[in-house]
Structure 1
Amino acid sequence: MNQSPPSLVGIRVRNSQPEDLPAITAIYAEAVLHGTGTFELDPPTEAEMARRRDEVLSRHLPYLVAEQNGQVLGYAYGNYFRPRLAYRYCIEDSVYLAPQARGLGVGRLLLAELMARCSQVGGRQMLAVIGDSANTASIALHRAVGFEDAGIIRSAGWKFNRWLDVVLMQRPLGAGDQGDPA
Structure 2
Amino acid sequence: MSLLEIRPAAVADLPSITEIYEHAVRYGTATFELIPPDLDEMTRRYDVLMDGGFPYLVAALEGRVVGYAYAGAYRPRPAYRFTVENSVYLQPAIHRRGIGLQLLQRLIAESEARGYRQMIAVIGDSANAGSIGVHRRCGFQMIGTHPNVGFKFGRWLDTVMMQRALGEGADTLPRTN
The normalised TM-score by structure 1 is: 0.95
Counterpart position of 2:75: 82
Supply the distance in 1 between the matched residues of 2:153 and 2:91 (Cα, whole angstroms): 20
TM-superposed deviation, 1:71: 0.5
Counterpart position of 1:97: 90
Query: What is the aligned residue count?
Result: 175
* 1:27-42 map, 5 Å: 27-42=20-35
Residue 134 (structure 1) aligned to one of 123, 127, 135: 127
Supply the distance in 1 between the matched residues of 2:170 and 2:43 (Cα, whole angstroms): 33
Residue 153 (structure 1) aligned to one of 146, 157, 161: 146
* 1:1-182 map, 5 Å: 7=1, 9-182=2-175
Counterpart position of 1:4: none
Classify the secondary structure of the residue corresponding to 2:59: strand
Supply the distance in 2 between the matched residues of 1:164 and 1:135 (Cα, whole angstroms): 10
Supply the distance in 2 between the matched residues of 1:55 and 1:122 (Cα, whole angstroms): 19
* 1:55-86 superposed Cα distances (whole Å, 9 cap, x missing partner): 11111110000001111010000001111121
TM-superposed deviation, 1:101: 1.3
Supply the distance in 2 between the matched residues of 1:75 and 1:130 (Cα, whole angstroms): 16
TM-superposed deviation, 1:178: 1.1
* 1:85-115 superposed Cα distances (whole Å, 9 cap, x missing partner): 2111111000000011110000011000000
Supply the distance in 2 between the matched residues of 1:178 and 1:158 (Cα, whole angstroms): 39
AA matched with 1:119: E
TM-superposed deviation, 1:21: 0.5
Classify the secondary structure of the residue corresponding to 2:30: coil
Classify the secondary structure of the residue corresponding to 2:13: helix
- Tell me which stretches of 4 or more aligned residues in structure 1 moved more than 2 Å: none
Q: Please, what is the CA RMSD of the aligned residues?
A: 0.7
